[in-house]
């Protein structure tokens, strides 16, 4: 596992270093980023990329560890930039690097403060106004008004740069969404996706808005089309879908009573963390279309994930009955059957050892065999 080096300067009081920022950054001496700091930043960037790869492989613990270490190195880089005895003018590369170091650990207020200095020095630069708006959005509700003003200025200054235009549209969609102006949010996020189909954050927000309006199938298909690339955005997706599906429930919206629609609804519920409701939606699917293999496999995987092993076994068995030629499903089923047999044997042995006088009903799953339960097949 990668280990990142953190210098002794991290032991300096962080707040003392942060209070030095205005004095250092408003100096007139021109300076570039020291090579040692550049190397450290590159090391942190590589760790963040490795963390993304670990998430793609479902190793969440390793990803979190790498994230933490990378952010610690970023903070060390900030300390070095501020205490190295050099001063950065807003036109220096060091100034932009300093702003970037604040963004990654989440010091968006400090990043925005420095970005304002850059905007003041280069007020005709649309990209700088966009960055300022994005940093204000990251501050939460308190930054929405300032974010909106910065983004509108970026929009006025942008000279037909599609990439910047798409980012401005998505940022404005975020502002409108957080203010509860969902029609405006939908309008701008549609524009963002039309200009940049690879903007995953915009795709997630658009799917959430579609789900909110009851377009369940469209929302689910939009998210499924992104594949595993959405994994780094699992937390954001869960939050947005929970909000949207809660609104869908409160307004008593409906969708057609078809297996396709219920399956799509189950996928959204699963992404939102509403697992038991996803099971109910899938059970409706099996009633409407009892021979759909994908539904049975999804149902089996969810049952296994929540520890309902007998129900998982039965769902896998039904899937294999419909189509025996599924090697991965067959392997999962065989492992599950073996696990349940070992569990039953362990429970019987414990009951026999306990004796007839002291015996009591054994709660299913209370006594597990030495081997862990088989891991569920990844759902995507």
Write the secondary structure of the chain as one string of H (helix), E (strand) and C (coil). Answer: CCCCCCCHHHHCCHHHHHHCHHHHHCCCCCCCCCHHHHHHHHHHHHHHHHHHHHHHCCCHHHHHHHHHHHHHHHHHHHHHHHHCCCCCCCCCHHHHHHHHHHHCCCCHHHHHHHHHHHHHHCCCCHHHHHHHHHHHHHCCHHHHHHHHHHHHHHHHHCCCCHHHHHHHHHHHHHHHHHCCCHHHHHHHHHHHHHHCCCCHHHHHHHHHHHHHCCCHHHHHHHHHHHHHHHHHHHHHHHHHHHHHHHHHHHCCCCCCCCHHHHHHHHHHHHHCCCHHHHHHHHHHHHHHCCCCHHHHHHHHHHHHHCCCHHHHHHHHHHHHHHCCCCHHHHHHHHHHHHHHHHHHHHHHHHHHHHCCCCCCCCCCCCCCCCCCCCCCCCCC
More confident residue, 146 or 32: 146
CA angle 53, 57, 62 (to 5 degrees): 70
Q: Two tokens at 380?
A: 């995507």
pLDDT reported for residue 177: 97
- Tens digit of pLDDT for each residue in 290-348? 999 999 999 999 999 999 999 999 999 999 999 999 999 999 999 999 999 998 888 88
Structure tokens at 186: 């939908």
pLDDT tens string 246-285: 999 999 999 999 999 999 999 999 999 999 999 999 999 9
Better-predicted residue by pLDDT, 263 or 362:
263
Encode 62-91: b = buried (16+ Cβ within 10 Å), e = exposed.
bbebbbebbbbbbbbbbbbbbebebbbbbe
- Residue 283: burial class (beta carbons within 10 Å; 0-12, 13-18, 19+): middle
| 119, pLDDT greater than 80 | yes
Least confident of 137-146, 198-207, 298-307, 359-368: 359-368
Residue 184, pLDDT above cutoff 60: yes
pLDDT at residue 107, rounded to an integer: 65
What is the band of 161 on the pLDDT scale with cuts at 50, 70, 90? confident
* CB 289 within 8 Å of CB 259: yes
The whole-number pLDDT of residue 179 equals: 94
CA 282-344-340 angle, to 5 degrees, is: 40
User: How many angstroms separate the CA atoms of 143 and 165, rounded?
Assistant: 21
Residue 29 pLDDT greater than 80, yes or no? no
Quote the CA–CA distance of 224 and 205 in Å, as a whole number: 14
């Amino acid at each position: 596992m990668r280990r990142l080096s953190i210098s002794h300067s991290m032991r300096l009081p962080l707040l003392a270093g942060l209070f030095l920022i205005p004095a250092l950054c408003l100096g007139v001496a021109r300076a570039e980023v020291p090579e040692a700091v550049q190397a450290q930043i590159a090391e942190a960037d590589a760790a963040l990329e490795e963390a993304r790869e670990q998430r793609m492989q479902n190793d969440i613990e390793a990803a979190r560890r790498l994230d933490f270490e990378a952010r610690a190195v970023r903070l060390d880089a900030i300390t070095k930039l501020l205490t190295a005895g050099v001063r950065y003018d807003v036109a220096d590369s060091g100034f932009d690097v300093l702003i970037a170091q604040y963004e990654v650990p989440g010091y968006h207020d400090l990043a925005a403060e420095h970005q304002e200095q850059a905007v003041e020095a280069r007020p005709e630069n649309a990209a700088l106004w966009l960055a300022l708006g994005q940093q204000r959005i990251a501050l939460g509700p308190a930054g929405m008004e300032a974010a909106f003003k910065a983004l509108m200025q970026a929009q006025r200054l942008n000279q037909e740069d599609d990439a910047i235009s798409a980012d401005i549209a998505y940022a404005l969609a975020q502002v409108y969404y957080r203010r509860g102006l969902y029609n405006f949010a939908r309008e701008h996020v549609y524009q963002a996706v039309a200009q940049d189909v690879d903007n995953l954050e915009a795709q997630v927000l658009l799917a959430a808005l579609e789900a909110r309006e009851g377009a369940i199938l469209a929302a689910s298909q939009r998210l499924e089309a992104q594949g595993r690339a959405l994994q780094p955005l699992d937390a954001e997706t869960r939050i947005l879908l929970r909000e949207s599906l809660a609104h869908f429930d409160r307004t008593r919206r409906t969708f057609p009573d078809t297996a396709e629609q219920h399956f799509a609804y189950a996928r959204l519920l699963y992404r939102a963390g509403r697992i038991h409701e996803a099971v109910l939606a899938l059970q409706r699917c099996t009633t409407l279309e009892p021979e759909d293999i994908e539904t049975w496999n999804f149902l089996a995987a969810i049952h296994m994930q929540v520890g309902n092993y007998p129900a998982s076994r039965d769902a896998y068995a039904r899937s294999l009955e419909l189509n025996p030629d599924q090697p991965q499903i067959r392997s999962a089923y065989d492992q599950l059957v073996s696990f349940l047999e070992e569990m039953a044997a362990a429970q019987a042995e414990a009951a026999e050892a306990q004796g007839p006088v002291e015996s009591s009903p054994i709660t299913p799953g209370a006594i597990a065999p030495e081997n862990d339960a088989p891991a569920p097949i990844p759902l995507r």
